[in-house]
Structure 1
Amino acid sequence: MVFYLMNENPSSPQTEPQIQTAVLLLPAKSDCYWQNLAEVPFLLRNTLTLQRAGIKKLMIWSENTDAFQQKLKQDPRMNLDVEWIVDNAIGLHDTHVMVLDGSTLLEKAEIVEAMTPSTQYQTDGFHFFPEVLKEKNLIKVIPPRESSRLINKEDFRVAEERLLKSVGLSNDSLMDRLITRFISRQLTRVLLKTSLTPNQITFLSLLIGLGSAWCFYQGTFFSGITGALLLLVSAWVDCTDGEIARLKFMETSWGARFDIYCDNIVHFSVFFSIGMGLFFATGNSLYILYGGLAVFGSLVAFMILSGSIMKKKQAAGQGKTSETNLTDQLANRDFIYFLLVMACIERLDIFILLTAVGSNIFAIYLMYKRNRWTQ
């Protein structure tokens, strides 16, 4: 899918700077370039993908430039320096340039890999390739993948399904992969069509989570089951905000922080409310203590982990993988499924006791690890 335009005497690949300029070739059939793909126009999606991969300057070669220029300029997500090529006038000079087929759906990982120059040459697969570019010193060619070419409605439908399946995080837990992401993707299909922003969806998740806490606070069997179910819904909606942010290129560091804070507010509220609900149901004040300890241990763990959680979440959203350690396994939210089971068998007392003990042991473990690192 990618061509490289380079000077006559390239130096060793180890010393080459990364390619930061791209030429996007748009074949003559232009009616599909502004067709929505997961609610982002096809051409804009490819352009934002190049931007996300690290491209700084983009030259677009199309026979119908007027149709797209203003639309791209007006989009607030666009930070690229965009130049439209007219009358074969292309000034590449000695700049390393990547040339891509704009009729195919581009992928960030492929672009990042292609930003390092190499020495292969192959020109098959392009439906449109100007003669003037053939005169340049093309030293590497990666032909377009036909499976990624979007021409008709069926191509767009298949591509959107692939995008929806790709929006999970690389550090998702076991239950996230088995259950949570499957359900959240169905919600994402619906919410994509709305004007709701990711942060608004995060706030909706917070409200549902607080509704869950209120149910647990009532201290009855049926309110406990309702609370556990609402907590599951809150988690599914919470996954949806990130999926929509990645699909619509709306990720922000503030949004990531807001999401993490809302998650923990919900968890703290649920733990406190379970303790209070059990106290109201039994009159045993120990449950207030258990609820308080669960909140305290979780809060200490969050204060220690918040920075690393933020970094890992942002890296995972960019497709970067990191080794899953014991801390990651203990800090995930798979406990919500265990909580539903405990609510159904009317043993929330076991859950809150385990959480009170486990969260504080986890907090002590984190403090121990932190002290070892600072020594």
Structure 2
Amino acid sequence: MTDLLVIVQSDAEGNAKVPPGTMVAGLPLMRRLVLAAERAGVRRMLVLAPDAEEAKRLLEGTAALVAASGEPLPQLPPGRMVVLAGTVLFQAAWLRALFELPIERERLYAEASLVGVMESDDPREVLSGGTGGRAVPDVFAAMAKARPVVPRMFPQEGRCVLGDPQDCRQAENWLLRGLIKETEGFMSRHVERPISLAISRRLASSSITPNAMTLFSVGVGLIGAPFFLSSAPASQLTGALLFLLHSILDGCDGELARLKFQESRWGGLLDFWGDNVVHVAVFMCMGIGWSLSVHAGWPLILGGAAVAGTLLSAGFVYRHTMREQAKPGPLFTSVSKGGRSWLSQMADALARRDFIYLVVLLSAAGKANWFLFLAGVGAPVFFLVLLAAAATEARREGRLTT
């Protein structure tokens, strides 16, 4: 049995209020639907399109098949079939839930002319009667003639329906809200994320890539690091604000990647190591600046401890949770694999970057060295927490004996 997603595209010059080429967050609507389905794990997709040439142009490079109105359909294997109007945006979990929904065979579970779900031995026969219609309702009506219909309201959460072109901004807001991570810290969620999302919305329609955004954010962070060589509050505050700007812009690369389906292992590695390079540069400059201001060498020990703890933690996270993922696509970047133990949850909480706001406050008073003291102690402790969390997970999975 094979899962099949069918997207019914209306004619841009006929009944469609929202043409398939309408740009939504930097991508044509039809292309966004197909890429979202691929992200959800759907491998077989069929687009019913009045204008096959336009559909093929919009979907170039994807796995979707295109069938023009009135033309014979390709052979389709038996299995679960989900039929969507070409104006229904969805999240991956919502689409997967439709494929897992318990239903009776050879019955069309339909919500108006928006969503249909069916388990059929002959999807081609069910769809064939609707390929001549140019409007989405015609296709659903033809399917209803082929099989008994069971009216069904599908979950509203996880989807967004475009009724007209004016809904595109609302749809973009919906897509952007879906990029917010549940594990984010308070300040990140309420301060940095709204700013980065506003920037990403504007960058989505440009040619700027996520990796280019990563390099730019790393550059901003590295420019800010030397300002901590001075003990002057104005200099330290400038460095701290550039450090904060780096953190804000660093959110844009992942947002762009997820928004435009450009996630990659290389991008995840670039982002991960770029962040750590900036942290190392900041801690080094804090240590050197403090040493110069007091004419002593002991602050360099604190700086070295912060740098060593940062690099050891980064190397451990890479080896423990990132190196094994060789497949293409998004890279798993949590500090733990399972995240189930209290130590794992503590490690994830400590990895959040709300500490940057403390750097800003202390730097405004010319006391960035106070933060270096905390980092010199905290970074090695964080590394030990990671080791303990990994050992706890290994014991739970039976990979480590006591």
- Determine if the alignment matches structure 1 residue 47 to structure 2 residue 59: no
1:6-59 residue CA offsets vs partner (Å, 9 max, x unmatched): xxxxxxxxxxx6x53111112343462101000101111011111111111111
- Matching residue's letter, 2:169: R
1:24/1:287 CA distance change after superposition, 3 Å: same
Q: 1:107: Cα distance to partner? A: 2.4
1:110 aligned residue: 94
1:141/1:224 CA distance change after superposition, 3 Å: farther
1:162 aligned residue: 174
Match runs of 1:41-190 below 5 Å: 41-73=28-60, 75=61, 78=62, 80-87=63-70, 89-90=72-73, 91-119=75-103, 122-126=109-113, 127-130=136-139, 131-137=141-147, 142=152, 148-190=160-202
Q: Distance in 2 between matches of 1:162 and 1:81?
A: 25
- Gap regions ≥5 residues in structure 1: 1-16
- Matching residue's letter, 1:134: A
* Identical pairs, percent: 25
- Determine if the alignment matches structure 1 residue 367 to structure 2 residue 387: yes
Is the 1:88–1:132 Cα contact (8 Å) retained in structure 2?
Answer: no
Q: Distance in 1 between matches of 2:383 and 2:46?
A: 52
1:61-117 residue CA offsets vs partner (Å, 9 max, x unmatched): 1222222212312x4xx2x24231542634445233221111222222210111114
Q: Distance in 2 between matches of 1:316 and 1:340?
A: 26
- Matching residue's letter, 2:84: L
Match runs of 1:1-375 below 5 Å: 20-28=3-11, 29-30=15-16, 32-73=19-60, 75=61, 78=62, 80-87=63-70, 89-90=72-73, 91-119=75-103, 122-126=109-113, 127-130=136-139, 131-137=141-147, 142=152, 148-307=160-319, 310=322, 314=331, 325-371=345-391, 373=394, 374-375=400-401
* TM-score normalised according to structure 1 size: 0.84
SS of 2:50's equivalent in the other structure is coil
Q: Distance in 2 between matches of 1:40 and 1:279?
A: 51
SS of 1:325's equivalent in the other structure is helix
Q: 1:141: Cα distance to partner? A: 6.4
Is the 1:169–1:316 Cα contact (8 Å) retained in structure 2?
Answer: no
1:56/1:307 CA distance change after superposition, 3 Å: same
Tell me: higher relative CO, structure 1 or 2? Use CA pairs within 8 A at least 6 residues apart. 1
Q: Distance in 1 between matches of 2:369 and 2:333?
A: 35
1:325/1:136 CA distance change after superposition, 3 Å: farther
Q: Distance in 2 between matches of 1:68 and 1:27?
A: 11
Is the 1:294–1:357 Cα contact (8 Å) retained in structure 2?
Answer: yes
* TM-score normalised according to structure 2 size: 0.79
1:308/1:232 CA distance change after superposition, 3 Å: farther
Is the 1:32–1:151 Cα contact (8 Å) retained in structure 2?
Answer: no
- Gap regions ≥5 residues in structure 2: 114-135, 395-399
Q: Distance in 1 between matches of 2:152 and 2:6?
A: 14
Q: Distance in 2 between matches of 1:172 and 1:314?
A: 17
- Matching residue's letter, 2:214: T
Q: 1:135: Cα distance to partner? A: 4.7
Q: Distance in 2 between matches of 1:93 and 1:366?
A: 48
- Matching residue's letter, 2:47: I
RMSD: 2.7
Is the 1:59–1:82 Cα contact (8 Å) retained in structure 2?
Answer: yes
Q: Distance in 2 between matches of 1:47 and 1:316?
A: 26
Q: Distance in 1 between matches of 2:150 and 2:262?
A: 33
SS of 1:274's equivalent in the other structure is helix
Is the 2:25–2:259 Cα contact (8 Å) retained in structure 1?
Answer: yes
Is the 2:110–2:149 Cα contact (8 Å) retained in structure 1?
Answer: no
Q: 1:154: Cα distance to partner? A: 1.6
1:365/1:165 CA distance change after superposition, 3 Å: closer
Q: 1:151: Cα distance to partner? A: 3.6
Is the 1:24–1:59 Cα contact (8 Å) retained in structure 2?
Answer: yes
Q: 1:322: Cα distance to partner? A: 6.0
Aligned length: 350
- Matching residue's letter, 1:21: L
Q: Distance in 2 between matches of 1:110 and 1:316?
A: 24
Q: Distance in 2 between matches of 1:368 and 1:56?
A: 40
SS of 2:31's equivalent in the other structure is helix
Is the 1:26–1:128 Cα contact (8 Å) retained in structure 2?
Answer: no
Q: Distance in 2 between matches of 1:263 and 1:99?
A: 43
